[in-house]
């Protein structure tokens, strides 16, 4: 059974940093692109970033480029999102999701809430 479990969310002050993790199981992690998608309270889904299975390619939404870094450890079957210079508008539930580069997100984690507030 495919499982994605996020962790690392919490309360952080504006300008602060946080690292999210997504532990994957039930599939060959290194064979899949992985994505982060976020959803602000009461708002819609927004794609944040993706990374190729071997970690060689990454891309970001313009709103997080230069502040967020996606990475993965295939030995640990874990996806990461390092978030720096956090802003109020980054406050959201962050989901990790499995998909090919072109989308079709077939498995999602339960989400991890990031709250940015002083």
Partner 1 sequence: QSALTQPPSASGSPGQSVTISCTGTSSDVGGYNYVSWYQQHPGKAPKLMIYEVTKRPSGVPDRFSGSKSGNTASLTVSGLQAEDEADYYCSSYAGGTNVFGTGTKVTVL
Closest approach of partner 1 to the CB of residue 85, in Å: 19
Q: Which is nearer to partner 1, 8 or 111 (CB)?
A: 111
Q: ∠ at Cα 94 (93, 96), nearest 5°?
A: 145
Helix (H) or strand (E) holding 37: strand 34-39
CB within 8 Å of 101: residues ≥ 6 apart? 33, 50, 52
Task: For partner 1, give the closer residue by CB, 9 or 109.
Answer: 109
Residues of this chain that bind partner 1 (CB under 8 A): 35, 37, 44-47, 50, 59, 61-63, 95, 101-106, 108-111
Task: For partner 1, give the closer residue by CB, 4 or 15.
Answer: 4
**Minimum distance between the CB of residue 47 and partner 1, rounded to whole angstroms?**
4
CA–CA distance, 97 with 34 (Å, rounded to integer): 6
């Amino acid at each position: 059974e495919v499982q994605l479990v996020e962790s690392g969310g919490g309360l952080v002050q504006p300008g602060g940093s946080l690292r999210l993790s997504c532990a994957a199981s039930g599939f060959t992690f290194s064979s899949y692109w992985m994505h982060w998608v976020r959803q602000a309270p009461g708002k819609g889904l927004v794609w944040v970033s993706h990374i190729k299975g071997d970690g060689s390619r990454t891309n970001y939404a313009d709103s997080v480029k230069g502040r967020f870094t996606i990475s993965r450890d295939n030995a640990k079957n874990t996806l990461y999102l390092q978030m720096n210079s956090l802003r109020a508008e980054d406050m959201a539930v962050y989901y990790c999701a499995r998909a090919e580069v072109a989308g079709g997100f077939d498995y999602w984690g339960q989400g991890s809430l990031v709250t940015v507030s002083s």
